[in-house]
Chain A
C-alpha cells in the first residue's frame, strides 16, 4: 500500500463526484431559492425560536449564469442575528452556488456550517462541496465534512441542497 495508490483512489472519488454533479439537475437558482425559503419557513414554524427566512435568506443575482444563495455570514465568527438559530442553541449558516444549465441548474459549490450549542464537542460540523478538485484529493476531497476541525476533511457523497438541510434539521438537531 502506497501513498500514491491512496491519492489515486481519492482522485477517482473526486471524478465520481464531478460525474454525479453533471447528472444531477436542479431547478433554476431563483426556484431553488424559493424552495429553500419555503423549506425554512416550514421548519422554523416548528421551532420556538424566532427566525424569519424572508429576512435571513439572500439571493446574489446571477453573474454569467452563476448565482449564490446565502444565509448568515460566510465565516462563522460567533452568533449573529443573521444566523438561523435552533431551539437547542445551535446555529446555521450556509452558502450555495449554482450554475444555470438549460432550464435548470447544477451545483457549483456549497458550505453548510452547523455550529453546535456552546461547550459541545465537536464544536461544529461543516458540509462542504468545493468548486473543483484540490491538488491533493486525499487531504481535501471535493465533497467533505469538517468534524469540528478545520484541517480534517472526511469525504462525503454528493448531497443536494435539501438533503443537507434534512440531516441538520431531522438528524443533528434532534440529538442536541
Chain B
C-alpha cells in the first residue's frame, strides 16, 4: 500500500481533467480529519473539473440505488465513499455490477488505507479498471509556510519603515491607512480581529 503515490487533491483532480474528466480512480484518505479531507477533495474536483460533485456512501446504499445514483445524473463527479461496513462480500457484489457503474463523469473511490486489500481481493475487475490510479491523499499545499510569512513581514517592515508592533498599535487606534497592503499585514500577524 505504501508504494502508492502521494498527491495533493488538486493534482488528483488535474489528472482526471487530463483524461477529459472521465475514468475511475481511488484515493486513500488520511487517517485523521477524514471528513475535512473529503470536503477539500470535493472543492478541488469542482474547481478543476468545473462540474458538480457528489459524495455517495457505498456501505449504506443498495446496489440498485447505487446504480440509479450514478446514472441520474451521469455526468457529474461522484465520490464513492467506502466505510467500515463495506465487507469483502459487498465488494464482491459491487464488482459483479461494475458495468452498471460506468458513466460519463468520473468516479472517485474514497477509501481507508485498509480498504485496498478488500478492493484487490474481492473486487478484481474494479481494481483492474482503476489500474495504477490509486493515490494517497497528500498535503494540499498552498498554505503559506511560517518561513514565507516571516519573510513577507520582513519585507513589509523594511519597505514601509514601520514595525509590526506599530502596525498593530495603529490598527488598534484606528489610524492604519485603508490600503490593501496593511490589511494583509494584519492577517500575516494573525490579527484578523483588527480588520
Task: Give A residues with C-beta under 8 Å from B.
Answer: 30-31, 33-35, 37-38, 41, 54, 57-68, 70, 73-75, 95, 97, 99, 108-111, 128-134, 140, 142
Contacts and interface: CB of A to CB of B under 8 A. Distances in A.
A38 B48 contact: yes
A67 B186 CA distance: 10
A38 B195 CA distance: 28
Contacts of A130: 178-180
A34 B155 contact: no
Contacts of B159: 74-75
B142 A37 contact: yes
B64 interface: no
Q: Chain B contact residues: over half helix, strand or loop, or mixed?
A: helix
B181 interface: yes
B10 A54 contact: yes
B192 interface: yes
A106 B184 CA distance: 15
A59 B144 contact: yes
A59 B181 CA distance: 15
A54 B40 CA distance: 15
A62 B14 CA distance: 26
Contacts of A95: 180-181, 184
Interface size grouping (class) on chain B: 35 or more
A84 to B, nearest CB: 15
15 contacts: A31-B43, A31-B47, A34-B43, A37-B142, A63-B193, A64-B192, A66-B192, A67-B187, A75-B181, A97-B184, A99-B192, A108-B183, A109-B184, A110-B180, A129-B180
Nearest to B43: A34
Interface in B115-156: 141-144, 148-149, 152, 155-156
Contacts of B63: none
Contacts of B177: 134
B195 A66 contact: yes
Contact of B188 (A54, A68, A73): A68
Nearest to A109: B180
Nearest to A36: B47
Contacts of B47: 31, 34-35, 37-38
Given A58-B144, A59-B144, A74-B152, A64 B181 contact: no
Interface of B: 8, 10-11, 14, 40, 43-44, 46-48, 50, 141-144, 148-149, 152, 155-156, 159, 177-184, 186-193, 195
Max count, chain B CB within 10 A of own CB: residue among A61, A65, A73, A109: A109
Given A30-B43, A34-B43, A58-B144, A68 B187 contact: yes
A119 B178 CA distance: 31
Contact of B187 (A38, A60, A111, A132): A60
Contacts of A74: 152, 155-156, 159, 181, 184
Contacts of B11: 54
Given A60-B188, A74-B156, A54 B180 contact: no
Contact of A34 (B44, B179, B195): B44
Contact of B180 (A30, A111, A133): A111
The 5 lowest CB-CB distance pairs between A and B, nearest first, are: A66-B192, A63-B192, A64-B192, A38-B47, A109-B180
Contacts of B190: 63
B144 to A, nearest CB: 4
A108 B182 CA distance: 12
Contacts of B44: 34, 38
